[in-house]
Chains A and B, each alone.
Chain A
Amino acid sequence: MVEWTDKERAAISDIFSKLDYDEVGQKCLSRCLIVYPWTQRYFGAFGNLYNAEAIMNNPLIAKHGTTVLRGLERALNNMDDIKNTYAELSVLHSEKLHVDPDNFKLLSDCLTIVIAAKMGTTFTPEYQASFQKFLSVVVSALGKQYH
């Protein structure tokens, strides 16, 4: 089981409390699709992804960004058992969506950068460490049911 210090819990909660899921979700997912274009392979049905501007203005991508953030909120609300909380999501990503789990890290790096841009210097090194620990637990849980 993952051990969380009080400081880590406080940092992660504080960060989430400052997030507008619609804004951050859209920015994070579009940044991932732009910076790591091969991730677009999973979004064939999402319409026009032909260039950065199209991706940034794509409403289906924006909507899906919000979905991703809501999914992360589930991990936030179950920090002591993220692995089981995400068991179904892991099966979904593996069996139905066929997502290469290496891509989870790419999206989590983009999320870190979007939050860093939003929070500026209040995103301290300690906050970054706590949040990245949280994301690495999430990424690991999402990959758990792959076989």
Chain B
Amino acid sequence: LDFDQDGYSGGGVYPSSWACLLLYDNIKGPSCIGSHLVRFISCTFNTGKSKRSKMSLTAKDKSLVKAFWGKISGEADVVGAEALGRMLTAYPQTKTYFSHWADLSPGSAPVKKHGSTIMGAIGNAVGKMDNLVGGLSALSDLHAFNMRVDPGNFKILSHNILVTLAVHFPADFTPEVHIAVDKFLAALSAALADKYR
């Protein structure tokens, strides 16, 4: 069974939707069966749903990310610098990649410059959401063969970007925007790691 993000498989295929209900061993009580039944029925009859790979970006995700990025683009440099500074402070092991910098403190010149570079690249990727692997191919080469950044660190930086967005845009960074941006950054990280091996 290929579970998508909602925990239900495929798009409206009766046998697999039924099977995933059976796998819900935490079902307790009629109210819970009710809500699962509603979703099972809509899943079964939702034959218009196109085939998706696990947790891929939906049209709604892309439009939420684009709209949100439009709002924040004026402060992208600030966000990038701060996210990088937060990462270097809260996850000191990431400093190992920047031993060539004189000053690793938040707000230092190299941190600001590099934060701006990173956010610029992410902003570009917003325009390439329909083909992140193709669009980020050159950057993937760079990270894989020159910089050799362990891909686990992409998740760490993504988390710090989310924290920085929450700090600066608390009203706009709603749970719906949060999930869309989180998925986008995860897809971006996967594209960046594409050439690693």
Interface residues of A (CB under 8 A from B): 30-31, 34-35, 37-38, 40-42, 44-45, 47-50, 52, 56, 98, 109, 112-114, 116-121, 123, 125-126, 128-129, 132
Contacts and interface: CB of A to CB of B under 8 A. Distances in A.
B67 to A, nearest CB: 16
In the A-B complex, the 6 residue pairs with the smallest Cβ-Cβ separation, listed nearest first, are: A44-B32, A117-B170, A125-B89, A129-B90, A34-B175, A116-B166
A35 B90 contact: no
Contact of B163 (A35, A52, A98, A128): A128
A42 B24 CA distance: 10
B7 interface: yes
B7 A38 contact: yes
A52 B177 CA distance: 11
Contact of B35 (A42, A49, A56, A112): A49
Interface of B: 5-7, 24, 26-29, 31-32, 35-36, 38-39, 82, 85-86, 88-90, 106, 159, 162-164, 166-168, 170, 173, 175-176, 178-179, 182
B182 A116 contact: no
Nearest to A34: B175
A94 to B, nearest CB: 14
Contacts of A98: 26
B181 to A, nearest CB: 10
B175 A121 contact: no
A2 to B, nearest CB: 16
Contacts of A44: 24, 26-29, 32, 35-36
A45 B32 contact: yes
A50 B36 CA distance: 9
A132 B173 CA distance: 20
Contacts of B178: 31, 34-35, 113
Given A35-B179, A129-B90, A132-B90, A117 B166 contact: yes
A125 B85 contact: yes
Given A50-B35, A52-B175, A116-B166, 11 more contacts: A34-B176, A35-B178, A44-B27, A44-B29, A44-B35, A48-B35, A113-B163, A118-B170, A128-B86, A128-B89, A129-B89
A37 B6 CA distance: 6
Contact of B31 (A34, A45, A117, A129): A45
Contacts of B39: 50
Looking at B82, B86, B173, B175, the one whose CB has the most chain A CB atoms below 10 A away is B175
Contact of B24 (A41, A114, A120, A132): A41
A77 B22 CA distance: 42
B196 to A, nearest CB: 23
Nearest to A42: B26
Contacts of B36: 44
Nearest to B164: A116
B138 to A, nearest CB: 31
A106 to B, nearest CB: 11
B94 to A, nearest CB: 12
